[in-house]
Amino acid sequence: MAENRLNRELETREQTARKRNWIRPDTLPTPNPEAGYDFHWVRISTRGELDAMNVSLKLREGWEPVKAVDHPEIFVAGVENDRFKDNVVIGGLMLCKTPSEMVEDRNGFFQDQAVSQMRSVDHNLMRENDPRMPLFNERTTKVTFGKGT
C-alpha cells in the first residue's frame, strides 16, 4: 500500500495553489504612511500644459512636494517636467504632503463655512414665514424597507 503513494517531495505548494486573477494596478499609488503627515496629489499640468496657478496655490496652502528618494515604493517611470524632476510625478499629478494638523484646520474652516451658509439660507427662508401659512424647515430623511404600495 505504501508503494502506491507519491513521493512527498513531488507535492509542492506551487503545484496545488489556485491561479491568481489579474488585478488592474492603481493609477495613483498610495505612499507608505508617515506619522503626522497627510498626502495629496496636486495637479501640475493638464494636457501637457503647466498649471502654475494651481501648483503655487497648493504650495502657499502648505503642501510640500515629496521627493522620490523618500518613497522608493512608488515606481516613477519617467520625468514629465524638468522643474519637478526629483519629485514623485505621475500623469501630471505631483505627490505632496503636509502636517495632519493643517488638514484638520482646513477641514474645520470649510465645515464652519458650510454651517454659516446653511444658517444664512435658513434665516432667508424663515424671513418669508407667515403665521397664517407657516413654512417648515425639516432637514431629516426617512428610509423605509419593505413593500411599497
User: Domain map of the chain by residue range?
Assistant: 36-99
Distances (CA, A) of 79 to 13, 22, 29, 55: 41, 28, 16, 17
- Mapping DSSP to helix (H, G, I), strand (E, B) and coil, where does residue 94 land? strand
> What was the pLDDT predicted at 41?
93
Confidence (pLDDT) at 64: 93
- Write out the H or E segment, with its range, that includes residue 98: strand 93-99
pLDDT at 98: 94
Is pTM beyond 0.75? Reply is no
Per-residue pLDDT, 16: 63
Question: Please, which residues have CB within 8 angstroms of residue 58's CB and are 6 or more apart in sequence?
Answer: 40, 42, 96
pLDDT of residue 116: 94
- Cβ atoms of 136 and 100 within 8 Å: the answer is no
Q: Mean pLDDT by 10-residue block, N- to C-terminus, for the chain (149 residues)?
A: 65 68 80 92 88 92 90 71 78 91 94 93 78 69 74
pLDDT at 124: 81
